[in-house]
Amino acid sequence: MNLILLGAPGSGKGTQGALLSARLGIPKIATGDLLRAAVHDGTPLGLQAKRYMEQGQLVPDDVIMGLIEEVVTAPAARDGVIMDGFPRTIPQASAVDALLAARGRRVDRVLLIDVAEEELVRRMLGRAAQEGRSDDTPETIRKRLAVFREQTEPLIAHYRAQGVMTTIPGTGAVEEIAQRIVGSLGR
Ligand code: AMP
């Protein structure tokens, strides 16, 4: 099963994706994690991505496409993958659709984790204090939320048209939200 977790920064995609991965036994892959590792290691991709990430902007599609292809076509993703933090733009979504279609597969379900904006800001400021992520400053948080609205929200209509969109209310206890997700998948 190929699943996409869609949600604004701070919506809990990473937490819920990890729980779902354990439950379904398919890997969860987050482009944000891969990019942070690339920046840390100083790889060519990391060097290109760094300044965009620091500013709360998306890494340009032409820079990230290779990484997305690698993830979707990896042997570990043969039986399915939970996509966390990608696709993030319509061109990325089209690329994922095409990569899967070439292998006789498709996006089976997109889960939109829905959280009100003031709650997102509150959570990200809390995370900034705990994890010290350099892109969790008040200014970049606002920027990342605006980028989500402008560049990632159009994916909702894209996947609604494919009949694979499900909205999950993303507030409440972590376990409660996990139950909603599992329930929506009929598991
Ligand atoms: P995340 O951990 O998913 O919030 O991602 C952190 C940052 O990495 C984002 O603000 C972007 O700069 C970058 N990033 C992660 N995934 C993508 C993607 N699929 N396309 C473009 N930029 C991305």
Q: What string of pLDDT tens digits covers the 187 residues of the chain?
A: 999 999 999 999 999 999 999 999 999 999 999 999 999 999 999 999 999 999 999 999 999 999 999 999 999 999 999 999 999 999 999 999 999 999 999 999 999 999 999 999 998 888 877 887 777 788 889 999 999 999 999 999 999 999 999 999 999 999 999 999 999 998 7
Ligand 1 pocket member 39 (CB < 6 A) = no
Sign of CA dihedral 169, 89, 76, 15: negative
Catalytic residue among 13, 36, 50, 123: 13
Catalytic residue among 23, 28, 88, 149: 88
How far is Cα 78 from Cα 5, in angstroms, rounded to an integer?
18
Specify the 3-state DSSP secondary structure of 56: coil
Distances (CA, A) of 92 to 21, 29, 87, 174: 22, 15, 5, 29
Predicted TM-score (pTM) of this structure: 0.94
CATH topology assigned to domain 3-184? Rossmann fold (3.40.50)
- Report CA(178)–ligand 1 centroid distance (Å): 23
How far is Cα 30 from Cα 1, in angstroms, rounded to an integer?
16
Ligand 1 pocket member 72 (CB < 6 A) = no
